[in-house]
């Protein structure tokens, strides 16, 4: 079982303060330079958009760089979008997740930037939960990098922090502090909205803890190894299928390994995601006699998503995990 890492209160307070000070406050009309006098916030992709909308509500106008249905890691940004990025009052992104966004932010010259990666502690997660000592969490793990299929942060850190409600709440606090700094006239509203959102995320964390407390298996197989933080938080083991291309079949060696793991760990289901092909999952499931189901990394919401927002999709993920793991 993975060991849960706790962030000291002092460290969290420092991270929140960093998020607030990293954003240069505008004064006068510039503080609400967005459309209709609202604070203009540009978010890199859905999890950042959701935070901005939930905390800013009627005081903000949120634009998102990654449109629904676009795989965030594959996003390409035009020079025009880069120029528009520089006109935002606030830019909210997660450094290392989307190289194109990192580059655009650097080129835009925008000063009011909130990097969500500074608001919580990023960790390294291997694609496989089974290493020589039971769990692999090594920086620069080659297999993990191959399975992810996209750039991770420095030292091979995993950017998928929003899939852990507790870490997402830490980021929400930092975003709230940043919006208060950018638009002090509505600071009380941002603070109240942040507290409300953190309360909902804390409740969701409790739902996952209770819902996954007792299961027949603690191991699940997924095509996208995005669930390292979720696994660590709730004592699960994530097994990622090798190969960066969702259209490709897993290697024979990995197939054999996963077959052995599935038998040993009582695995019933191979998970795939809504924004990528399910071909790899179906190949493995057919060869191992397992079922397939959706485990959504929540990088975007479309009409195919199992829910209309973050909370609905996360609860669908919980239900699917409970079913696959044999919740008691």
pLDDT 10s digits, 147-159: 334 444 445 789 9
Lowest mean pLDDT among 28-37, 46-55, 197-206: 28-37
Indicate the number of domains in the chain: 2
Tell me, yes or no, whether 152 lies in a domain.
no
Tell me, yes or no, whether 129 lies in a domain.
no
Q: Are residues 168 and 297 in the same domain?
A: no
High-pLDDT (> 90) share of the chain, %: 57
Q: Are residues 55 and 172 in the same domain?
A: yes
Tell me, yes or no, whether 139 lies in a domain.
no
High-pLDDT (> 70) share of the chain, %: 77
Q: Are residues 21 and 98 in the same domain?
A: yes
Answer whether residue 218 shows pLDDT above 60. yes
| 200 strand-pairing partners | none
Q: Are residues 267 and 297 in the same domain?
A: yes
Q: Are residues 280 and 171 in the same domain?
A: no
Q: Are residues 219 and 181 in the same domain?
A: no
Q: Which residue has better confidence, 21 or 326? A: 326
Q: Structure tokens of 212? A: 């996954």
Q: Are residues 14 and 99 in the same domain?
A: yes
CATH number at residue 293: 3.40.50.1980
Q: Are residues 180 and 290 in the same domain?
A: no
Q: What is the overall mean pLDDT for the chain?
A: 82
Query: Which of these three, 207, 228, 245, is where a domain ends?
Result: 207
Which range marks the domain in which residue 230 is found?
A: 215-325
State which H helix or E strand residue 176 sits in.
helix 165-182
Answer whether residue 130 shows pLDDT above 70. no
Angle at which helices 46-56 and 310-325 pack, to 10 degrees? 130
Q: State the Cα–Cα distance between residues 294 and 214, nearest whole angstrom.
A: 21
Q: Are residues 201 and 302 in the same domain?
A: no
Q: Are residues 17 and 114 in the same domain?
A: yes
Q: Are residues 306 and 188 in the same domain?
A: no
Tell me, yes or no, whether 232 lies in a domain.
yes
Phi, psi of 46 (to 5 degrees): -55, -50
Q: Structure tokens of 245? A: 């291309």
Look at residue 221 and give its three-state secondary structure.
strand
Tell me, yes or no, whether 169 lies in a domain.
yes
Answer whether residue 308 shows pLDDT above 90. yes
Tell me, yes or no, whether 111 lies in a domain.
yes
């Amino acid at each position: 079982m993975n060991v849960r890492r706790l962030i000291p209160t002092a460290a969290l307070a420092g991270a929140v303060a960093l998020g607030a000070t990293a954003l240069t406050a505008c004064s006068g009309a510039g503080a609400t330079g967005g459309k209709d006098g609202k604070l203009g916030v540009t978010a890199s992709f859905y999890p950042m958009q959701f935070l901005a909308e939930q905390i800013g509500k009627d005081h903000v106008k949120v634009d998102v760089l990654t449109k629904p249905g676009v795989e965030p890691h594959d996003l390409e940004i035009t020079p025009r979008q880069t120029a528009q990025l520089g006109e935002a009052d606030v830019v909210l992104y997660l450094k290392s997740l989307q190289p194109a966004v990192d580059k655009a932010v650097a080129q835009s010259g925008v000063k009011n930037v909130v990097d969500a990666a500074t608001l919580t502690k990023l960790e390294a997660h291997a694609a496989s939960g089974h290493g020589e000592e039971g769990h692999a969490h090594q920086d620069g793990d080659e297999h993990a990098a191959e399975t992810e299929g996209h750039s991770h942060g420095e030292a091979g850190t995993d950017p998928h922090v929003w899939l852990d409600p507790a870490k997402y709440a830490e980021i929400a606090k930092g975003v709230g502090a940043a919006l208060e700094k950018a638009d002090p006239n509505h600071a009380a509203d941002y603070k109240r909205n942040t507290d409300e959102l953190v309360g909902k995320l804390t409740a969701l964390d409790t739902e996952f803890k209770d819902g996954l407390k007792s299961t027949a298996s603690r191991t699940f197989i997924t095509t996208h190894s995005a669930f390292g933080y979720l696994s660590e938080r709730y004592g699960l083991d994530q097994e990622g299928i090798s190969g960066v291309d969702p259209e490709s079949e897993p290697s024979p060696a990995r197939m054999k390994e996963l077959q052995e793991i599935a038998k040993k760990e009582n695995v019933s289901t191979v998970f795939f995601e809504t924004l990528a092909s399910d071909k790899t999952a179906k190949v493995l499931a057919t060869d191992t006699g397992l079922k397939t189901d959706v485990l959504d990394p929540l990088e975007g919401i479309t009409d195919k998503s199992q829910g209309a927002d973050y909370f609905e999709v996360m609860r669908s993920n919980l239900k699917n995990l409970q079913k696959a793991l044999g919740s008691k």
